[in-house]
Amino acid sequence: VRQIVSLLEQKNLRQATYVIIGGGATEQSLVSKFAIDGQTRDAYDGLRLIKAWVGRDGKEAVA
């Protein structure tokens, strides 16, 4: 996750891209640790989060 965030920053894409992680091996505390935008329990929770974000602040949601 750190590498992904770092690469997005290097390419000046971080400000325009949401980054989320999810699944049983993740926890909410990782959001601040990795400076990402969100964490979800499962794919359905992730879709709800992405739908809420799409179009907000001019960012894109990418997979």
Global confidence as pTM: 0.75
Count the Cβ atoms, other than its own, within 10 Å of residue 61. 19
Strand partners, 17: 60
> Which 3 state secondary structure label does DSSP give 25?
coil
Q: What are 1-58's pLDDT values in tens digits?
A: 999 999 999 999 998 888 999 998 999 999 999 999 999 999 999 999 888 887 676 6
pLDDT at 51: 86
Please tell me the number of Cα atoms within 13 Å of 48 on its side-chain side. Answer: 7
Would you say 42 and 22 are in contact if contact means Cβ atoms under 8 Å apart? Answer: yes
